[in-house]
């Protein structure tokens, strides 16, 4: 019996358990820019992409809005209170080494209090080595070069390559 791929996940024809099907996960990243245009990046640890630079972010929880996820993850990871302004980009990333597939939504965020000094703290030391600020020119260079110490998380590399004008005056 042949099952059309579109019908594979219907209850009527699906005989595979959810454990045997790799499904894409939804990740949300907060893109937080300072007035000079630089954005915050943290070095990941303890998970896929360990040692790579990424925006604050994480998994979308059941029933949570995308913007609320970006705000929550930023507070949990950096201690910064931000508000999501808009979904500024989307990428589709397959991590072949770990067999993980993520659709990542990038949310432009700004401080809740415009006078707030943006000094991120490492709130989850088991997940982040530290935070830094990088210009978009640096991020583009990092996406194009394969330097271990400056390696970006795959969704950011895909963002730079798929949306080359991202971050150029639109954040």
Residue 14 placed within a domain: no
Residue 116 placed within a domain: yes
Q: How many domains does the chain have?
A: 1
Residue 9 placed within a domain: no
Look up the domain containing 96 and give its range. Answer: 22-162
**Token pair 């401080």: residue:** 111
Residue 89 placed within a domain: yes
Strand partners, 27: 59, 104
Query: Is it the case that residue 166 has pLDDT exceeding 90?
Result: no
Q: Which DSSP state fits 7?
A: G
Q: What is the CATH number of the domain that holds 102?
A: 3.90.79.10
b/e burial code for range 84-100 (CB count within 10 A of at least 16 → b): beeebbebebeeeeeeb
Residue 170 placed within a domain: no
Note the pTM of the prediction, 2 decimals.
0.84
pLDDT digits (tens, 9 = 90+) for 51-79: 999 999 999 999 999 999 999 999 999 99
Given this model, what pLDDT does residue 11 score? 40
Q: How many CA atoms lie within 13 A of 19 on its CB side?
A: 0
- 131 neighbors 38 (Cβ within 8 angstroms): no
pLDDT digits (tens, 9 = 90+) for 103-156: 999 999 999 998 888 999 999 999 999 999 999 999 999 999 877 768 999 999
Query: Is it the case that residue 15 has pLDDT exceeding 60?
Result: no
């Amino acid at each position: 019996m042949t099952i059309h791929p579109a019908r594979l996940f219907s209850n009527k024809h699906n005989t595979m358990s959810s454990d045997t099907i790799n499904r894409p996960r939804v990740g949300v990243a907060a893109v937080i820019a300072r007035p000079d245009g630089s954005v915050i990046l943290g070095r990941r640890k303890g998970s896929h992409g360990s040692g790579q630079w990424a925006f604050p972010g994480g998994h979308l929880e059941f029933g949570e809005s995308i913007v609320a996820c970006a705000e929550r993850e930023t507070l949990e990871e950096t201690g910064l209170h931000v508000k999501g302004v808009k979904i500024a980009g989307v990428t589709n990333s397959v991590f072949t080494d770990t067999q993980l597939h993520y659709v990542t939504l990038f949310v432009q965020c700004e401080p809740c209090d415009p006078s707030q000094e943006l000094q991120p703290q490492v709130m989850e030391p088991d997940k982040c080595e530290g935070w830094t600020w990088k210009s978009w020119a640096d991020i583009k260079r990092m996406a194009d070069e394969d330097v271990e110490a400056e390696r970006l998380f795959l969704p950011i590399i895909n963002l730079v390559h798929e949306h080359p004008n991202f971050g150029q005056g639109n954040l």
